[in-house]
Every structure is written in C-alpha cells, then in structure tokens.
Structure 1
Amino acid sequence: MEPATLTLAGILLLALITVESGGAFLLRVTTGGKPSNDLQKNWYRAGHAHAAVLLVLALAILPYTDAFDLPAWATWLARSGVPVAAILMPAGFFLGVLGEDPQKPGPAAVLVPIGAAVLTAGLLAAGIGAIAAGQA
C-alpha cells in the first residue's frame, strides 16, 4: 500500500474512537442523562450511525484506490470522498439540532446534503476507478 493510503487508514481508525465516544454520548441521551427532545434523539442516532458506517466504508474502499489509473484529481476524490462525507454528514446531524429544545433543524443541517453530494462523488469516482482497473 502507498504511504499516503496507510496514513489515511491510520487517521480513519483513530477517528473511529470519536464514534465510540459518540456512542457513550448517545447512551446518555437515550437513558435520560442528557435532556433531549425527540428531534435531537433521532438526529443524534442518525449522526452516530452515519459516522460509523461511513468510516468503515472508507476503510473498505481505501486499499483499492492504489490500483486506480485515474487522473490525480479523480483518484483523490475516490480516496477522500467517503472520509470527507463521514465528517460532514454526522456534523450536520449533530450540529443541526443544537440547543435546549429545537423544534426544527438549524442552519448546520445543510452539511447533511452537502456530505451526501461528496459521498456520491467519491463513490462514483471509486466505482469508475475500480471498473477501469478491472478492465485494464
């Protein structure tokens, strides 16, 4: 594996520790230790789930990116799209419902669809890169 790929893998593995601490926070929310309304509970769950799944997905895709014969920008997008989405989408879920008793998501919720767009672009680049490498 390329050194940059291994470095990113290490960063992603360490980022999973934040998901673990997010799980502890979610446990406090669901057991009443952290007062939250239903909107917050649902969005916190979604943020936690997206963070975990997207980080694991990023780790699964990462080794393949070294075999891609794409332009540098497309390889960068294939390697970085899912990890960036793993930051943006959960951030939107958590930050979008900050406050004492929000009745609707706040402005930070825009990070969710932005993250989804980045996720789509990264998966598209990785999928095309994998197919092209397999056909070569």
Structure 2
Amino acid sequence: MEPAEVLPIVSLLSIVTVEFGGHALLRFITTDRDKLGELRERFFRAGHAHAGVLLMLTLVYFLYLPRARYSDGLEWTFGAILLAGVLAQSGGFFVHLGIGQVGARSAGTTLTRVGALLIAVALIALSAGLIHEL
C-alpha cells in the first residue's frame, strides 16, 4: 500500500479520539470544573485544540506529499515524522496537565516543543520536494 493511501486513514481515525476528547472536555467544564482547576482546564483545551487543527493539517499534507515525488520510503518517513510531531505537540499539553505546575516547565512542555520541531521538519521536507518539482 502507498503511504498516501494509509497515512490519511490513520489521521482520520485519530480525529475520532479528538472528538471523544471534546466530549470529555465538555463534561469536565459542565460538571467537574472545580475539580479540573484553571491550569488543567487551559492545558486540556490547548491539547484538544492543537490535536484537532494539526490532524486537519495532516490531511492536507498527505494530499500534497505524492506531488513531491519522493520515494515510498521517504513518504513513509516524512508522514511518520509529521504524525509523531502532532502526537507529541498536542500530547505534551496533556502531559503538562497531569504533572505541570503554574509557571514551571515540565516534561510536557518539552514534549510540546519537540512536537513542534518534528512538524517543522516534515513541513520543510514537503516544501523542499514541492519546490524541486516546480
């Protein structure tokens, strides 16, 4: 199977988990708001929003990836880097939600930064491939 056929399916199925997260967020906000607290609510919202938006980005990315005319191996690599970056960036917010403190760094904030770098690598790789094909 081609990477551009499989990877979008992974993204679409991941969006289902974001929908479940939205349901959980609404439940927390409407019933358990005091238990969640302001810091955790902010990071829950940020993680959820980043996951949704970035997964939509992956769908566009996978439409353009074949146009860069990379080998299947590179397409799998760049697609995996992008998906790992999305999981790391949005997941970092949830890690910080669990272990972070106000005004302090945590493993979650580091994970979020690593995710951003992975996303940047994948986007630059796609851009380079598309420029090369002009």
Which range, TM-score by smaller chain? 0.7 to 0.9
8 Å contact kept, 2:81–2:119: yes
Larger fraction in helix? 2
Matches within 5 A, 1:43-54: 43-54=43-54
Alignment match, 2:20: 21
Q: How far off its partner does 1:67 sit?
A: 2.3
Alignment match, 1:122: 122
- TM-score (normalizing by structure 1): 0.83
Amino acid at match of 1:4: P
* Paired positions, count: 132
Aligned mates of 2:43, 2:82 — CA distance in 1: 20
Secondary structure of 2:32's match?
coil
8 Å contact kept, 1:89–1:111: yes
Could you report, residue by residue, the CA deviation over 1:36-84 in whole angstroms, capped at 9, with x for unpaired residues? 1211111111100110011110011102211223467654454233322
Q: Structure 1 stretch 105-114 or stretch 41-50: which is displaced more? A: 105-114
Aligned mates of 1:118, 1:65 — CA distance in 2: 16
Aligned mates of 1:87, 1:16 — CA distance in 2: 12
Alignment match, 2:4: 5
8 Å contact kept, 2:78–2:125: yes
Aligned mates of 1:7, 1:77 — CA distance in 2: 13
Matches within 5 A, 1:28-107: 28-33=27-32, 35-70=35-70, 75-98=75-98, 102-103=101-102, 104=104, 106-107=106-107
Aligned mates of 1:76, 1:11 — CA distance in 2: 12
- TM-score (normalizing by structure 2): 0.84
Amino acid at match of 2:19: E
8 Å contact kept, 1:5–1:63: yes
Unaligned runs of 5+ in 2: none
Aligned mates of 2:31, 2:90 — CA distance in 1: 22
8 Å contact kept, 1:75–1:126: no
